[in-house]
Amino acid sequence: MAKVKTAHFCQNCGHESAKWLGRCPSCNEWNTFVEEVISKGKNEVTIFSKSTKRTAVPRAIHEIQDIPQQRIQMVDLEMNRVLGGGLVPGSLILFGGEPGIGKSTLMLQVAMQETNHKILYVSGEESEQQIKMRASRIGELNETCYLLTETQLESIFKHAEELQPTMLVIDSIQTIHTDIIESSPGSISQIRESTAQLLRFAKQTDTPVFLIGHITKEGSLAGPKVLEHMVDTVLQFEGDRNHVYRLLRSIKNRFGSTNELGIYEMLGTGLRQVENPSEILISDNKDKLSGSAIAATLEGLRPMLIEVQALVSTAAYGTPQRSATGFDLRRLNMLLAVMEKRCGFKLGAKDVFLNIAGGIKVSDPAIDLAVVASILSSNADLAIEKNVCLSAEVGLSGEIRPVNRVDQRISEAEKLGFDKIIISKDNKGIKQENFKIEIIGCTRIEEVLKELFS
């Protein structure tokens, strides 16, 4: 009979202890340890058969052939971009997001679009009829997409070995359990052991595996922190419920950049890929309204133009309010201090509200100049021309600093029909004759204001 032992696990970070502790020594959280039963005996049964395994032997690094990695090109171009140019065989991908944001819908849509590949979609949360209902709403049914409603990992591997799919989707990892661990599904030890077995399956069979994961109320992925270290890629699906746009970001990626961004529009028939986000993030309002400026920004390798909106009003109460949506509040306070100290604008007694249109979050410092321009436009109630965009960083002394890859930003503004773009005069290698759009270089905020409001 297998020997049974118990251990205590922190439900926040997954730290293991032989006895109960009031405070976790790893994450310093209180009252998070829960006792779980672990069974690891000598009569363990292998999870999947030996026929699917590959035997590894030590080899000198110079003897290993340099073979280009053949990625699986998916139909979903936004997913391809975020993954770094395609799906790597044998990769393990953790896909997280808030409840109801559209994780299962996106993964089912991706599975149904891959008509040239055999996909196994495993659901531990919904029945076959529920998934079929959603699939019928999304689009045409794919004959190469197979559904399996199962939560036992051993059974999943058995079906995967018989079907031999090109891609495996697990929805969700918190519902999967293995007989090796005697704790309940969703516990720290079950998530860790199930993920370890799926990782071994992915590497030994060259089958890419998607794990849909829940998140906690703090916004982090549920389960032990080691879960994010075990997988190859961590994708975050986010968005404002009041907006129809959803953003796909890469938090960790062993096979590509983590700066890429995928944008989807939530429709009744599923999620639509947004190939040109600039057109949806800029308002079509032709009226000249104060407090609005257009910024040329970059998300990974993708240039796009966004609308920055500001509202400045006299503080109704003693303490002025500072509010920012989609922009770092601390950076907003810094820019307000620069405008007051270096440029002489009295904003200390006024409320300032800032919003990035479209419900997206931007951390690119190149939108600093557009933030400053929109705030001063609202303060003076003077509108900025719709055919002007800005792309530059603002320093603490009020200088206009250059940003990287400004030529891509200029090309994007020119493609969308803008007549002028204001950048830093210190940007090197930018020649006016290479562009039809008028390029204006400035070194101080005062020069920018003369170009905008003169």
68 φ/ψ angles, rounded to the nearest 5 degrees? -60, 135
Annotated binding site for ATP: 97-104
Instruction: Output the pLDDT for position 366.
Output: 95
Annotated binding site: 97-104
CA distance 239 to 245: 6
Instruction: Output the pLDDT for position 2.
Output: 55
Instruction: Output the pLDDT for position 218.
Output: 67
- Radius of gyration, CA atoms only, the chain: 26
Give bridge partners of residue 37 from the DSSP assignment.
6
Instruction: Output the pLDDT for position 27.
Output: 83
CA distance 121 to 44: 27
Report the predicted TM-score, pTM, of the whole model to 2 decimal places. 0.78
Instruction: Output the pLDDT for position 4.
Output: 67
Instruction: Output the pLDDT for position 44.
Output: 46
What are the per-10-residue average pLDDT scores of the chain (454 residues)?
72 82 88 74 50 71 82 92 92 92 93 93 93 89 92 94 95 90 82 92 94 79 78 90 84 88 89 84 78 91 91 87 94 95 90 90 93 95 93 94 93 91 91 91 93 87
Instruction: Output the pLDDT for position 211.
Output: 96
Instruction: Output the pLDDT for position 286.
Output: 67
